[in-house]
Amino acid sequence: MSDINTNVINMAPDEEAIDVDKIMAEFDKESNTRHFTGVFGKIIKAAMVLFSLYVMFDGWTGTMEERQKMAWFIGIIVFIAFILFPIRKKEIKKPNHVPFYDWIFAILGSGSFFYYAINCQAIVDRASRINEIDIAVAIIGTCLLFEACRRVVGLPIVCVSAAFIAYAFFVVNRNPLRIIMYKLFYTTEGIAGTPLNVCASFIVLFIIFASFLEQSGIGAFFVDLANSIAGKSTGGPAKVAVISSAMEGMYSGSSVANTVGSGSVTIPTMKRCGYKPEFAAAVEAAASTGGQIMPPIMGAAAFLMTEYTGLPYSQIAIAAILPAVLYFTGIFMMIHFEAKKLGLKGLPKEAIPNFFKLVISKGYLLLPVVALVVAMNYFSPAKAAILAILVAIGVKVIEGAIKSIVHKKFEFDINLYIQSLANGTKNAIGVALACAVAGCISAMVQQTGLANVLSSLVHSASQIHPIFALMLTMLMCIVLGMGVPTTANYVIMASMVAPILMRSLSIPVLAAHMFVFYFGIVADITPPVALAAYAGSAIAKSNPMKTGVTATRLAITAFIVPYIFAFSPEMLIVGSDKPWYEIVLLVITALCGIYIISAGMEGYMYKHMPWWERILSLAGGLCMIIPGLLTDAIGLALIIIVFALQKIGSKRQAKAVT
């Protein structure tokens, strides 16, 4: 969702200039747009601004009938998508040039949905007895929706959805075309189903909110804040990258955009500090991807979970804290051990801002986020997002007024707000299209009874051992999550996979949704389709596959913790009947486990670890993370053994050197 405005960021003399726009266009399809200038550019921008305002108005009033609302919404999205996004990456980019066929696609695609919106009641009355014109319109609209999604989001989700439709049409009961098109296009179970409804109702509002945050300069504040916290520590630049990317990724909603946006600064800095290119790129990719699981916003997934689980927002935000802490602690510690192994230092003192001065001078930039979290406890997600947007505007107005008093010159840049609204629409296109196509998957799963087939498959695996069922589910999440934006990614997982876990393994609702969310997210750093890792490698000039493997290793906690809270939901804290001191013990032992696992993964604590010490470290760490006194005792014993061996060995090495 991030909009990168800087074309080229100049690094130190020995670094090549980084073309951020080129990298974004390469790995983030949502950034591969046509360019418009002059009057035509102003018309396009005005249309996108009006769309954002329309969504905000509808989010506050909510007066339109659901089916009509969905049809108008996705119709406008499809029209803008064909105008903004070329048919292929390498299309010649002439300013203000839209090929004639894209105008035709835009009119036919949007017109199909507008036809439904205008004739909604008549079509509802006809039900599955829709006529030939209705069927033709549905086919055209669905095909052009898929083409728009391919351009903006990518081919994987389109192929998966098309495969489900083909399965319904050719394999299961050979469903008639009339029934399939009615189900897909004219009901609230297909394109206009829950995913798109949730997107139109409030996801877009959070995307607009994120655009206002970006324009406010909060990203630079997060980088400075991270520098003030961790800049001077061992391997400081990499730790700064983790903290800043975690905070930025929390609201950006795009692992790739976050990797490129902050990585264009942090990755070259890490390389100059002494980290290998693959490691530097992997750190940024893993941290940026982890930003999507960072409460309280979680790339808007926290608010989606309230819709799917029926649980209060506050419970979901609290439940996400410990898994997120463990994730970032794991990355942080591996960075620390890597820096120790390479003998790296932190940033010079003069390059580190003062924490308290920074918070006092720029802390007000956090007010919109605070307002959002507070408002979520009193208003609907849509109204909370709108109120947070108004606070973001108010903060910039007050900031401008203060500057006006200081400089004795009035400062109010209306273009800042116009650009934020326009960026909100642009960044929402990919998510909306992905949600619409995801609705097709949900419709066909219900139509064909495939959910029962998948559930039976998982249940059969669980008869061997529940962990095999969870591993199968993990693979489903990673495959379905490849190349899909965070919010749409979670919508797919929540609609298809989470119910399977709840039915087949009796996993509590929140644990099931967290499980599928985590593994859907890590698809961005898991080879072979590790878009965030590959984007980072383009900046670092590193080997893409090695970068993806390294990022997966750094994010190892994300592959462990979901299994733990699937078997032991008390790790999510919420709903646990355990006393507070047991929860505290759980947190402490889990952190100790992550510490020793990080050492084992890096092969270094106080000195290089032989292979058998690494195995002891990994085993001890896993035992500490798994809740239970017996596992804690075993883990603690293994940790003490490894710690003692490392201490004794490092002292011997020191004596040998002297």
**Cα-Cα-Cα-Cα dihedral of 360, 363, 365, 370, to 10°?**
-140
pLDDT, position 596: 92
Q: Report yes or no on 361 lying in a domain.
A: no
Q: Report yes or no on 81 lying in a domain.
A: yes
- Who contacts 148 (Cβ-Cβ below 8 Å, separation ≥6)? 77, 78, 81, 82, 85, 105, 109, 433
Q: Which of 133, 488, 458 is nearest to 292 (CA)?
A: 488
Q: Report yes or no on 600 lying in a domain.
A: yes
Taking the C-alpha atoms of residue 449 and residue 599, their distance in angstroms, rounded to an integer, is: 46
pLDDT, position 9: 36
Q: Report yes or no on 527 lying in a domain.
A: no
Whether the Cβ atoms of residue 83 and residue 20 lie closer than 8 Å to each other:
no
pLDDT, position 72: 94
Higher pLDDT, 476 or 513: 513
Give pLDDT tens digits for 236-269.
778 888 888 777 767 766 778 778 877 877 888 8
Highest mean pLDDT: which of 24-38, 320-334, 438-452, 475-489?
320-334
Q: Report yes or no on 633 lying in a domain.
A: yes
- The pLDDT of 448-467, averaged and rounded, is 79
pLDDT band at 26 (very low <50, low <70, confident <90, very high): low
Taking the C-alpha atoms of residue 37 and residue 272, their distance in angstroms, rounded to an integer, is: 39
pLDDT for residue 443 is more than 50: yes
pLDDT, position 356: 85
Taking the C-alpha atoms of residue 215 and residue 319, their distance in angstroms, rounded to an integer, is: 30
Point out the least confidently predicted range of 8-12, 322-326, 434-438, 574-578: 8-12
pLDDT, position 353: 82
pLDDT for residue 11 is more than 50: no
Burial class (CB in 10 A: 0-12, 13-18, 19+), 465: exposed
pLDDT for residue 5 is more than 60: no
Q: Which of 333, 426, 260 is nearest to 617 (CA)?
A: 333
pLDDT, position 12: 43
Query: How many degrees, rounded to 5, is the angle at CA 222 between CA 221 and CA 227?
Result: 100
At residue 8, the 3 state secondary structure works out as strand
| End-of-domain residue from the set 200, 226, 246 | 200
Please give the distance of CA 579 from its chain centroid, rounded to a whole number. Answer: 33
- The pLDDT of 613-635, averaged and rounded, is 90
Mean pLDDT of the chain: 83
pLDDT, position 3: 42
pLDDT for residue 125 is more than 90: no
Higher pLDDT, 81 or 490: 81
pLDDT, position 457: 81
For residue 594, what are the domain limits? Answer: 578-658
| End-of-domain residue from the set 200, 219, 236 | 200
pLDDT for residue 312 is more than 70: yes
pLDDT for residue 393 is more than 60: yes
| End-of-domain residue from the set 136, 170, 200 | 200
pLDDT for residue 580 is more than 60: yes
Taking the C-alpha atoms of residue 614 and residue 596, their distance in angstroms, rounded to an integer, is: 9
Alpha carbons within 13 angstroms on the beta-carbon side of residue 198 total 25
Whether the Cβ atoms of residue 387 and residue 19 lie closer than 8 Å to each other:
no
- DSSP letter at 604 equals B
- The pLDDT of 303-314, averaged and rounded, is 81
Taking the C-alpha atoms of residue 87 and residue 93, their distance in angstroms, rounded to an integer, is: 11
Taking the C-alpha atoms of residue 101 and residue 603, their distance in angstroms, rounded to an integer, is: 57
Give pLDDT tens digits for 532-548.
888 888 888 888 889 98
Q: Report yes or no on 386 lying in a domain.
A: no
pLDDT, position 174: 63
Highest mean pLDDT: which of 167-176, 294-303, 626-635?
626-635
pLDDT, position 397: 83
pLDDT for residue 318 is more than 90: no
Q: Report yes or no on 370 lying in a domain.
A: no
What's the structural domain count of the chain? 2
pLDDT for residue 608 is more than 70: yes
pLDDT, position 465: 79
pTM of the full predicted structure?
0.81
Q: Report yes or no on 263 lying in a domain.
A: no
Give pLDDT tens digits for 133-163.
999 999 999 999 999 999 988 887 888 889 8
pLDDT for residue 31 is more than 70: no
